[in-house]
Amino acid sequence: MSGPSDKSQALLTALADIDDGRQPERATIRDAVRSILATLAARYPGRSVEVRCPPFGAVQCIDGPRHTRGTPPNVVELDGITLLRVASGRLPWAEAVADGRIRASGIRADLSTFLPIV
Write out pLDDT tens, residues 33-87: 999 999 999 999 998 999 999 999 999 999 987 666 667 789 999 999 999 999 9
Q: Are 84 and 57 in contact (CB under 8 A)?
A: no
- Lateral strand order in the sheet of 49-53: 57-61, 49-53, 75-78, 102-105
- Tell me what pLDDT residue 118 has: 82
Asked whether 24 and 32 are in contact (CB, 8 A), the reply is: yes
Q: Are 30 and 80 in contact (CB under 8 A)?
A: yes
CATH of 4-105, one of 3.30.70.360, 3.30.1050.40, 3.40.50.2000, 3.30.390.50: 3.30.1050.40
**Cis peptide leading into residue 55 (ω within 30°):** yes
Could you tell me the residue ranges of all domains in the chain? 4-105
Q: Which residues in the chain belong to E strands, given as ranges?
A: 49-53, 57-61, 75-78, 102-105
- Taking 70 as the threshold, does the pLDDT of residue 5 lie above it? no
